[in-house]
């Protein structure tokens, strides 16, 4: 999987003076069926999250509130995005080492995932990730 597969995707936004509304349908607005939702919150200043890759899992990450940075690394190159809107997010293909940092206070990072939690899908060692990623 190449870094070019990972993109910021704009989501539908219904603007309304009463407040905006955004919705997400799996396989329509993001390229997979949603099997799991989780979120990071109460992240203390200076904390780093992520620091792993997934063998097969696909994810879509949104800053529901506040902001943070995400860096994706496909084993050859890296790219960083600053997420700070609720109407867009980053699509993360399999075999991407991800690092999240620079969380603003009160930020919430919501993640939509293509599968249930499976620790066997994680690669938590960066050198192991590099050797697998560069073999492709």
Residue among 7, 49, 79, 85 that touches ligand TYD (CB under 6 A)? 49
Query: Strand pairing partners for 65?
Result: 108
**Closest distance to ligand TYD from the beta carbon of 94 (Å):** 15
Stretch that binds ligand TYD, among 7-15, 46-54, 66-74, 81-89 (CB under 6 A): 46-54
Q: How far is CA 48 from CA 18, 51, 97, in A?
A: 35, 8, 13
- State yes or no: is 52 an active-site residue: yes
Most distant pair of Cα atoms in the chain: their distance: 52
**Closest distance to ligand TYD from the beta carbon of 16 (Å):** 32
Tokens 């206070």 — which residue? 105
38 counts as binding ligand TYD under rule CB under 6 A: yes
């Amino acid at each position: 999987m190449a870094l070019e597969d990972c993109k910021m995707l704009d989501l539908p936004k219904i603007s309304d003076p009463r407040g905006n509304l955004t919705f997400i349908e799996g396989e329509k607005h993001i390229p997979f069926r949603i099997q799991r939702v989780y979120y990071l919150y109460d992240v203390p200043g200076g904390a780093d999250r992520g620091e792993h890759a997934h063998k097969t899992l696909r994810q879509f990450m949104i800053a529901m509130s506040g902001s943070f940075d995400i860096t994706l690394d496909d084993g050859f190159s890296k790219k960083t995005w600053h997420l700070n809107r609720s109407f867009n997010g980053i699509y993360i293909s399999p075999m991407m080492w991800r690092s999240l940092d620079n969380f603003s206070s009160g930020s919430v990072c919501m993640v939509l995932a293509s599968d249930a939690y499976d620790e066997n899908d994680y690669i938590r060692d960066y050198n192991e990730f590099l050797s697998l990623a560069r073999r492709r």
